[in-house]
Every structure is written in C-alpha cells, then in structure tokens.
C-alpha cells in the first residue's frame, strides 16, 4: 500500500512539474521551429518571437542568449499556455499542443553602444530573421557592410555573427566641379572630415578624418572616379570593402583604427576634355570620304 502511494506521488510530481514553472527540467528533444523573428527598435530594445509546431509530447526550445524578460507562451488563439523553464533560464519546455505555439520575450543587455556604434555578439543556430529600425539602410555583419536599400531586415541561417550599425550617421555631401560639371561625393561617418580634395591627374580622392574606430563609407560617382580602387591611410594600404556598385556609384567602406589622411585611388577619372567630340568628328569624316572622292574625280 505504501509503495503504491509513493509511486502515485512521484507520477503526480512529474505531471505537475511543467505547469508549476519548475527549474532544472531537461528534455533533449527539440521543438520544430517554424520561424524566429528578432525585432530591434531605435532605442536598441530587442523583442523575440518564436513560432513552433504542435506536438504530442513535451519538447525543449532554447532561448536566445541574454537577459530574458516578459516571457510568454500562447496558442494560435492567443490563449496563454503553461510555462516551464529548463536550465538557467536559457530554455523552455513546450507542452503538448494541438496547435502551433508562440513564444515571445524581451532581451535586455544584448546590444551595447560604443563609439556611436550599436553591437551585438549574436549566436543562434536556427534560421533567424532580423527586423531593424525603419530608417536604417546600412548594417555590418562581421565587419562586412550590408546595404538594406528598402528592405526592413535580413535573414541569417545558422547564425553566428557580430551585428553592428549606427543610427543618425552624418552624411557629408562634398562637391567636385570639373569642366563645368558638378559631381557629388557622399561621405558617411561620425568622424569629422577635413581637407577634402579631388586630384584629376593622380586619379584620387583624399580627405582627413579626426576620429579613429569609426566606419567611413564613401559613395563615389563612377563617372568621376572608376575602380578598381586602392585605399590608403597616410600612405599605408588599408583593408576596405567595395559594395553596392549600382552602375552609377560605388560604395567604399573602411574602419581606420587611427586618425589621418584617407586616399582613394582609381584607375580612370573624368577626362580633361570630352572624348565624344573627337569620336563624332571621326565618324563624320568617314561618312564624307565617298563624297570627297566623287568631287576629286570630277
């Protein structure tokens, strides 16, 4: 009789454990995740939403690393489901359900701002979509620039990355006048820009920066200076990324670790005089040759 009571008590504990929000629950079988969306707002606040498939048995779902706040689980109708925490608040147990479940939470202290740059050392081995602040059009993934254009975000597969971005980055519009034509060069950076210069004979653009460890993105009209490019900081060659060449402009990005003069050298610059006129004259001369021969014959 006592043995029967003891067995019943143990079984009752196992059944009640998930709904009681118990710690140290560990179920090795993982849920099937349909989607994961990470939304970052202008203030660096992070909200995470997982949608997981229905299941006939309890399964575990790992949470994204960070200080988890406001954790909830709901069914397809928005009804709150029972919640169990596994491990040290780094996973949840999803109870059996006939419908998909939605797990949502906020993450604190995952994004840090330094030198005007927000950064997140992110690692989560499931396909994850990121929704970024609306006005953001340029982000950096492992130091590589990603132009967002009109997209609201991007998707990362089996993701391990350093995500970085800046908001309200100053855009310096600098004017180059050559042969009665105006060209606009855009330099995006929080560093101060001084002594901007375009040198046509040397095929180069140069300017000084007064701050280090700042992203510097230069948008160059191809008609003014064509690649491939070489970039120097005080005569020392620099690693840079050329991206988003849309046929009219090239985007060149680097992150100098010291202050100094940046020089960008191309292979072709706007010519000293238009090549269209000589070509047109040559074309007309070819057309005139038959008529000139007829005149000479007479």
Question: Residue 127: beta bridge partners?
Answer: none
Phi-psi bin for 190: left (phi > 0), alpha (psi -120 to 50), beta? alpha
pLDDT at position 286 is 54
pLDDT at position 262 is 98
pLDDT at position 77 is 87
d(CA 132, CA 67): 20
Q: Dihedral, CA atoms, 138, 199, 221, 279, nearest 10 degrees?
A: -160
pLDDT at position 5 is 39
pLDDT at position 28 is 65
Residue-by-residue DSSP string for the chain: -HHHHHHHHHHHHHHHTGGGT-SS----SBPPEEEEEEEE-TT--EEEEEEE--BSS-EEEEPPSSEEEEEEEE-TT-PBPP-EEETTTTEEEEPPBSS-EEEEEEEES--EEETTEEEEEEEESS-EEEE--TT--EEEETTEEEE-TT-SEEEESSEEEEEEE-SS--EEEEEEEETTEEEEEEEE-SS-EEEEEEETTTTEEEEEES-SS--EEEEEETTTEESS-EEEETTEE---EEE---SSEEEEEE--SS-EEEEEE-SEE--SS-SHHHHHHHHHHHHHHHHHHHHHH-
d(CA 106, CA 72): 10
Here the tokens at position 43 are 């203030």
How far is residue 180 from each of residues 177, 269, 275, measured CA to CA in Å?
7, 15, 15
- Full pLDDT tens readout for the chain, 298 residues: 444 434 333 333 323 333 333 344 456 699 999 999 999 998 899 999 999 999 999 999 999 999 999 999 999 888 898 878 887 778 999 999 899 999 999 999 899 998 899 999 999 999 999 999 988 989 999 999 998 877 889 999 888 999 999 999 999 999 999 888 999 999 999 999 999 999 999 999 999 999 999 999 999 999 999 989 999 999 899 999 998 778 899 999 999 999 999 999 998 887 754 444 344 344 445 555 554 444 444 4
Q: Which of 206, 208, 205 is nearest to 193 (CA)?
A: 208
d(CA 101, CA 71): 13
């Amino acid at each position: 009789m006592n043995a029967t009571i003891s067995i019943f008590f143990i079984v009752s504990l196992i059944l009640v454990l998930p709904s009681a929000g118990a710690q140290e629950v560990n179920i090795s079988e993982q849920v099937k995740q349909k989607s994961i969306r990470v939304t970052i707002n202008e203030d660096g606040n992070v909200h995470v939403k997982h949608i997981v498939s229905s299941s006939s048995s309890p399964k575990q779902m790992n949470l994204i690393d960070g200080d988890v706040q406001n954790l909830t689980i709901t069914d397809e109708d928005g009804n709150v489901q029972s919640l169990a925490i596994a491990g040290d608040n780094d996973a949840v147990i999803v109870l059996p359900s006939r419908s998909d479940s939605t797990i949502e939470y906020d993450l604190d202290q995952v994004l840090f701002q330094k030198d005007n740059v927000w950064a997140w050392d992110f690692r989560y081995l499931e396909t994850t979509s990121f929704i970024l602040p609306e006005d953001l059009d340029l982000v950096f993934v492992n130091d590589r620039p990603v132009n967002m254009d009109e997209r609201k975000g991007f998707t990362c597969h089996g993701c391990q990355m350093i995500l970085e971005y800046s908001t309200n980055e100053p855009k310096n519009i600098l004017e180059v006048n050559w042969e009665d034509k105006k060209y606009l060069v855009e330099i995006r950076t929080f560093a101060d820009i001084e002594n901007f210069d375009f040198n046509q004979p040397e095929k180069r653009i140069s300017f000084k920066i007064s701050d280090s460890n700042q992203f510097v993105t230069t948008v160059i009209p191809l008609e003014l200076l064509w690649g491939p490019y070489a970039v120097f900081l005080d005569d020392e060659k620099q690693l840079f990324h050329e991206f988003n060449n849309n046929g009219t402009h090239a985007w060149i990005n680097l992150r100098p670790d010291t202050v100094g003069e940046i020089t960008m050298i191309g292979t072709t610059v706007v010519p000293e005089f238009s090549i269209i006129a000589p070509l047109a004259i040559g074309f007309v001369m070819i057309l005139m040759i038959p008529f000139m021969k007829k005149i000479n014959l007479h």
